[in-house]
Chains A and B, each alone.
Chain A
Amino acid sequence: MSDLAIEFDGVGKTYPFFTLDHIHLRVPHGQIMGLIGPNGAGKSTTIRILMGLVQQDCGEVRVLGRRMPAEQIAAKWDIGFASEDMRLYEGMTIAWHMDFIRSIYPNWDAPYAQLLLKRFGLRAEQKIKGLSHGQRVKATLLLVLARRPRLLVLDEPTTGLDPVARHEVLKELTAVMTDEGRSILFSSHNTQDVEQISDQITFIDRGRIIDSMDKEGYLDRWRRLRLEVPLGIALPALPGIIAIRQDGRLAVATANAFAPDMANAYESTGARVRSIETMTLEEIFVANVEHSREQEVGA
């Protein structure tokens, strides 16, 4: 049995207008991997390949030790999947859906399902068509959570939810981590959620992985340096600095590979470092994408 929950090795898929290229991914058991990237970057395609719903053109995919898509049936017994474009049957009730899932999966946890109904503020007798968007998302997640699957694969689980609903969902997702044999991979536009609960972060843009590493290490690599540059002094181009914006005597440098001696390097040229700030994942997201687009244009 592999010690990785998810393994992608050189995975590629070509579509008429989009190519997924050389995807390498490693998610160990017991961890949460957050997948972020702009729209159309390839997050959903990656997730579909992960679930065996789409066959890759090249490369190997293993989920819970099983090759995908060849062994997808065996894998899906242990995977809970919920995506943003997933819809339940409008004319049926939540209770009907719960019974349906329960009739298929042996490890349905009925008491936990009842608890989730209460926590999510849902009533089992309600028909899906009478639910708001947020309630539908929570109902779909309930069906997936109550099975206690070893791997949760979620495409935009908190998108479109109000703050309270988001909080409820995040609470249940992190609670999954009590069991160190269980793992989660989720994609999200909500960088705050990704920043808060992910152990690992993978950044996708235009079909390629730009970054994939542990969250703490990743956040540590990014800094914003505010500089005061006296007239006549040109700021040097330092390795690890991906952008410098200067306006008069004030400049802001963005580092994606921060090293403490950067401050010294600047100060030795006569510039003064006013402050070194950490960046939120959202700020990193924007800086990263802008930088990667610039590089593409330049190349």
Chain B
Amino acid sequence: MNSRVIQTLILKDWRLHRTQILISLLAGVVSLALLQVKGETAFLVGSVWFFIALIVLGCMVPVSNVINERKKQNLAFLMSLPISALQYAISKMASTLGLFLMPWGVLVIAASTFVLSRGDIPKGIVPLMFILFGLPLVGFCLVAGAALVSESEGWTVAATIVSNSSYGLIWYFIIRNPAINGDLKSPVAVWSPPVLTILAEEAAAVALILGLTLYVQSRKREFV
């Protein structure tokens, strides 16, 4: 029902944030290039930058795609189009997810390919790598959910602060976990139960947040 207009809106969002996506892809690729440089420092710096690129992307997308449209009063223009508040909310959710998942997916695949192709990097870090890929995804879902549901800059910023300040703590606990750091140097990837549990928890968090967001969005009746 009215899917053509919804599609047009999603494509519009992609077109509007083209530059943002390209910049984040570029940042990710540059940080991966750093990993090519020999030495542990370069590897560390490159990895950190890589994740920062993903985290920043995760914060930027909800704000620029969802919040700014309201702040900059573009909403009246969109409300005059032949759509309902619900259809607008759905198109927003779809485009917001797409704008993050595409670059995230590309960078994750690129990073994985890179690490797996390098002979001198022990495959034991692969499970940790995947756990770390999942964190910005969960963070993004939190911020995006806040933005879509609250439609307020205040709540979105709060969600950003909460997720960003949690990364350090979570990284710390993950790295300190002997079930994970014990197998880092192993030449083979070890998918131990603790690792799988953490991955499952990340997936559950994503599903929960997105499910809740979808539910709230589907109840929206009024634009204003």
Listed in ascending order, the chain A residues whose CB lies under 8 Å from chain B are: 48, 51, 53-55, 72-74, 76-77, 79-83, 85-92, 96, 100, 103-104, 140
Contact = CB atoms under 8 A, between A and B. Distances in A.
Contacts of A140: 77
B76 A87 contact: yes
A100 B5 CA distance: 11
A48 B74 contact: no
B80 A76 contact: yes
A79 B80 contact: yes
B74 A91 contact: no
A77 B16 CA distance: 24
18 contacts: A51-B80, A53-B223, A53-B224, A73-B82, A73-B84, A79-B80, A81-B76, A83-B76, A87-B72, A87-B74, A88-B77, A89-B74, A92-B16, A100-B12, A103-B8, A104-B5, A104-B82, A140-B77
A62 to B, nearest CB: 17
B8 A85 contact: no
B112 to A, nearest CB: 34
Interface in B20-34: none
A85 B73 contact: yes
B15 to A, nearest CB: 8
A55 B84 CA distance: 12
Interface of B: 2, 5, 8, 12, 15-16, 72-74, 76-77, 79-84, 87, 221-224
B222 A90 contact: no
Given A53-B224, A80-B80, A140-B77, 12 more contacts: A51-B79, A53-B79, A55-B222, A76-B80, A76-B81, A76-B83, A79-B80, A81-B79, A81-B80, A86-B80, A88-B77, A90-B72
Nearest to A153: B80
A218 B224 CA distance: 35
A31 B21 CA distance: 48
Contacts of B16: 89, 91-92
Contacts of A54: 222-224
Contacts of B82: 73-74, 76-77, 104
Contacts of A86: 73, 76-77, 80
A73 B2 contact: yes
A92 B17 CA distance: 11
Contacts of A72: 84
